[in-house]
Amino acid sequence: MTRRLFRILAALGLAMSLGGVALPAHAEKRVALVVGNNDYRNVPKLLKAVNDARTMGDTLKQLGFQVMVAENQNRQQFSETLLAFDRAIEPGDTAFFFYAGHGFEIAGQNYLLPTDVPAATEGQEELVRDASILADRIVERLQNKKARTSILVFDACRNNPFERAGTRAVAGGGGLAPMTQLPEGVFSVFSAGPRQTALDRLSNDDANPNSVFTRTFAKELLQPGENLVQVAQRTRRMVSEMADTVRHKQVPVYFDQMVDDVFLSGIAKGAAVRPAEPPPQKVAALPPVSVPRVPKEDTTNAPIASFSRHNGGWSVVFSFADPTLGISWRMAGKGEFRETGFIDTLDPRTRKRMPNPSIELPPDAQAGTIEVRYVDQSGDMQGPFPIRFDPEAALIRDQRKILDMTATSWLSFREFNGLLVYYTHLVSYRCAIREVRIGIDTAVPNQVLKMPNCDMRDPSAITAGMPLYMKLGPATQFVSVELTYRDGSVSEIKSFRTANRSNN
């Protein structure tokens, strides 16, 4: 009876609370490990990492997490702490890992440095690898424990800890490399972007016990009604603005592989909540604005929407886990529901014509909420389910996906009164790009390629006068390219050889 009541309440999207904190609808419990390392023996000590871990621990406790706080961990202690963290996680949990301390990148892999890491020099990369914790391995462990949501936060983007006057440093980089290849259900945040260092303080008079990133991020986590993406975006903006005041470049980055939104601090006052259901069913892609009625069964077939922009406007495709006999929609609070119609295909599960799962929106459609409802196999109407439509975010996400899938087309070469390199493809999807860097006959992109501004009204338009190519020296062998996307993440460096060119 108690379990049945809980499921009904979850389906209604009601926020249950524990000690005044809203619990997530899907996770069985919240578990966190925060690690802060100050007292390094062989590399420079830090001042605020332990304070950062304690602050994050206190913050996460307020959000209903069972928190483990570990300080000044050597290699063995770090391993034992991670084992204890493993044992605390059960399938369906929300797991949160926070690390403040020295981090180091070697060949694109991130290592978290225990306090007894040796003072390595040139050619001793293996010493660092063997003595440190591989960040990717933490992701694997959380996946193996079947955590439904894994959140990893790294305040470790500092200078190279192995640099010494009069010696050549170990080959690698201070701070951490982007973690772009994350599995589904993982969200990671870094205190600074590639090639950037994170500030511990804004000036000598800055008495705040926490780093600039942690003091901001911890505060944003407690803001009600903000999902993880909003927390990361607000943190990025605020940290960047604070760093600008001291003429320092620090732009935190995040990498999002969440299927649905995650709210750690409940729903804002006055806002309605999203329908929820036990895993593995999926929920609406973004925050809802209305509460659906209780479904007849214990699970709901809430849709997920994908958005794509084309010359005529927007295509929106709805995905349902279970068969449907009909689909209707409307923009929230605007008119009656409209049927999507049917396509000339039989659904083998229902032996009836399949409802059209897509709708079209005009190119100037404004941000809002799409309400979707469907007729289930029993003939009952389910929903409406709210799906948030944000044109700018949807455009960036769609163009980013296209750029990732068409990386071999970023550049092309042509012989015409010399050697030309065309970057028309990048211009076509420029709305997803913050910066393009190229390197001519070097694997390190070392110059900025200026791109036209994004026009949200016609994002793919290429107009007269737009620069689409540049002239290269006739002996040029290859060009390297690196994209920084609008969300702050960075692509792999791609190389394009001039031997693959057209003579037309």
Using a 10 angstrom Cβ sphere, with 0-12 exposed, 13-18 middle and 19 or more buried, the burial of residue 226 is buried
| Mean pLDDT of all residues belonging to the chain | 81
In angstroms, the first-to-last Cα distance of the chain is 75
pLDDT value of residue 177: 67
pLDDT tens track for 214-267: 999 999 999 988 899 999 999 999 999 999 999 998 989 888 888 778 889 865
Q: Residue 387 and residue 394: Cα distance in Å, rounded?
A: 12
Strand partners, 412: 422
Residue 129 CA, distance from chain mean position:
26
Query: What's this model's pTM, rounded to 2 decimal places?
Result: 0.51
| Residue 409 token pair | 């087309």
For the segment 110-125, the average pLDDT, to the nearest whole number, is: 84
Q: Does 299 have pLDDT greater than 70?
A: no
Q: Is the pLDDT of residue 488 over 80?
A: no
Q: Distance between CA atoms of 266 and 148, rounded to whole angstroms?
A: 18
Mean pLDDT calculated for residue range 277-296? 37
Q: What letter represents residue 436's amino acid?
A: V
Give the per-residue pLDDT at 126: 81
Q: How far apart are CA 151 and CA 232, in angstroms?
A: 12
Confidence at residue 174, expressed as pLDDT on a 0 to 100 scale: 52
Q: How many CA atoms lie within 13 A of 179 on its CB side?
A: 31
For 48, counting Cβ atoms within 10 Å of its Cβ (0-12 exposed, 13-18 middle, 19+ buried), the class is buried
Q: Would you say residue 112 has pLDDT above 90?
A: yes
Per the CB < 8 A criterion, the answer to whether 174 and 158 are in contact is yes
Q: 292 pLDDT exceeds 80?
A: no
Q: Is the pLDDT of residue 169 over 80?
A: no
* Inter-residue contact 480 to 492 (CB < 8 Å): no
Give the model confidence (pLDDT) of 344-383 as tens digits.
888 888 888 889 999 999 988 888 999 999 998 888 898 8
Residue type, 23: L
Give one word for 92, left, alpha or beta, with left for phi > 0 and alpha for psi -120 to 50. left
SS3 per residue for 483-503:
EEECCCCECCCEEEECCCEEC
Percent residues over pLDDT 90 in the chain: 39
* Rounded average pLDDT over 23-47: 82
Report pLDDT for 401. Answer: 85
Give the model's pLDDT for residue 312.
81
Structure-token pair, residue 235: 């943190």
- For 59-103, write each residue's pLDDT tens digit: 999 999 999 999 999 999 999 999 999 999 999 999 999 999 998
Residue 269: pLDDT band (50, 70, 90) is: very low
- Distance (Å, whole) CA 145 – CA 84: 12
More confident residue, 150 or 3: 150
Q: Which residue has the higher pLDDT, 163 or 244?
A: 244
Alpha carbons 79 and 25: distance in angstroms, whole number: 31
Given a cut of 80, whether residue 487 has pLDDT beyond it is no
**Average pLDDT of the residues in 434-463:** 87
Judged by DSSP in three states, 342 sits in strand
Please report which residue ranges of 92-247 form alpha helices under DSSP H: 125-131, 135-144, 212-221, 228-244
**Bond into 280 cis (ω within 30):** yes
pLDDT of residue 27 exceeding 90, the answer is no
pLDDT confidence band for 7 (50 / 70 / 90): very low
* pLDDT band at 17; cut points 50, 70, 90: very low
- Taking residues 441-459, what's their average pLDDT? 86
| Per-position DSSP letters for 262-330, written without gaps between them | -BSS---TT--------TTS---SS--SSPPPPPSSSS----EEEEEEETTEEEEEEE-SS--SEEEEE
The answer to whether the CB of 56 falls within 8 A of the CB of 50 is no
Identify the band that residue 156 occupies on the pLDDT scale cut at 50, 70 and 90: confident
